[in-house]
Amino acid sequence: MDISLQLYTVNSALESDLDGGLARLAEIGFTTVEAFDFVRRAPQLAMSFGAHGITAATGHAFLVQSEIPLPDGTTMTAPSRAETFGAAAELGMTTVIDPFVGVDEWSTLDGVKRIADALNAASIDAAKEGLLVGYHNHDHELRSIIEGKPALAVLAELIDPAVKLEVDLYWATAAHVDIAEFVSGLGEQVLAVHVKDGPMDREITTANVPTDQVSAGRGDVPLAAALASNPHLKYAVIEFDGFQGDVFDGVQGSFDWLTATIAEIDAAGTKASA
């Protein structure tokens, strides 16, 4: 399981000094990251990645909707799939992950079917560039219950095997899901998890982005159990939606915790198989 970082976490630093920000990540120990807003700046990212020994195995880009309703009530227009997959290929990615489909589409079975159809179609286009596609959740995909199951679980049944899921462990916990059981049940369909932590003593939704997240292992999210639940996990991706203080300090704390936790999981697996 490789430790990665969703670059959204430090994007304000990258906007002012892309090379300097990536240098700080390399100093922490990152060799792979999850690209953010990469279509418009692929050449610059590629140059800076190369300078600091970093790759972007995964990246976030909108694939399902061309006009995306955002939590703050605004909308944004996504680049075309051709532009997105071209930039991803330029950066040497393996998987492009859609980070958000609005709440309304998750409220009905027909809506989830439309999402699955769009991801399956995107997967066919992506394969022409040697890429996979996936989907990343927030809380609403798991709060919505369709035919007795969380909507995200319904999506997992409708997408092609080549389409992967990236489970955000913080948002799944906020939706009151047993994340170890959920991640385990996805088997090979789950490629990555977002590792973030914080207090869970209130109702948390994407409509009110939290500012009190903490380094992994210091909050209420049962991260270790989820990470140990599925041997097919390939990437543990650190992310903060909101962090008080120097975010690089928070990232360092999560990196150190993940390094130790993954070593423990690997050691336990080796012992169990001996």
Name the residue ranges covered by the structural domains of the chain.
2-273
Question: What's the average model confidence in pLDDT over 120-145?
Answer: 97
Q: Residue 208: what pLDDT?
A: 82
Confidence of residue 244 (pLDDT cuts 50, 70, 90): very high
Confidence of residue 93 (pLDDT cuts 50, 70, 90): very high
Share of the chain above pLDDT 70, in %: 98
Q: Is residue 124 scored above 70 in pLDDT? A: yes
Question: What's the average model confidence in pLDDT over 247-253?
Answer: 98
Confidence of residue 71 (pLDDT cuts 50, 70, 90): low
Confidence of residue 268 (pLDDT cuts 50, 70, 90): confident
Q: What residues contact 17, with CB distance under 8 A and at least 6 apart?
A: none
Distance CA 207, CA 94 (A): 31
Question: What's the average model confidence in pLDDT over 179-184?
Answer: 98
Pick 68 or 236 by higher pLDDT. 236
Question: What's the average model confidence in pLDDT over 144-150?
Answer: 96
- Amino acid identity, residue 105? E
CB 206 within 8 A of CB 171: yes
Question: In this predicted model, what pLDDT tens digit does every residue of 214-224 receive, in sequence order?
Answer: 999 999 999 99
Question: What's the average model confidence in pLDDT over 260-268?
Answer: 95
Q: Residue 75: what pLDDT?
A: 85
Question: What's the average model confidence in pLDDT over 58-82?
Answer: 88
Q: Is residue 273 scored above 80 in pLDDT? A: no
Distance CA 18, CA 54 (A): 13
CATH: 3.10.20.600, 1.10.730.10, 3.20.20.150, 3.40.50.300. Which one for 2-273?
Answer: 3.20.20.150
Picking from 256, 238, 166, 229, the residue whose alpha carbon sits closest to that of residue 198 is 238
pTM of the model: 0.95
Q: Residue 186: what pLDDT?
A: 96
Which helix or strand (DSSP H or E) is residue 98 part of?
strand 95-98
Q: Residue 147: what pLDDT?
A: 93
Question: What's the average model confidence in pLDDT over 171-180?
Answer: 97
CA atoms within 13 A on the CB side of 84: 29
Structure tokens at 172: 């799944």
Q: Residue 136: what pLDDT?
A: 98
**What SS3 class is residue 108?**
coil
Picking from 177, 181, 192, 165, the residue whose alpha carbon sits closest to that of residue 225 is 181
Question: In this predicted model, what pLDDT tens digit does every residue of 7-31 receive, in sequence order?
Answer: 999 999 999 999 999 999 999 999 9
What mean pLDDT value characterizes the chain?
Answer: 95
Distance CA 265, CA 1 (A): 10
Q: Is residue 274 scored above 70 in pLDDT? A: no
Angle at 39 between CA 28 and CA 17, to 5 degrees: 40
Q: Is residue 168 scored above 70 in pLDDT? A: yes
Q: Residue 100: what pLDDT?
A: 94
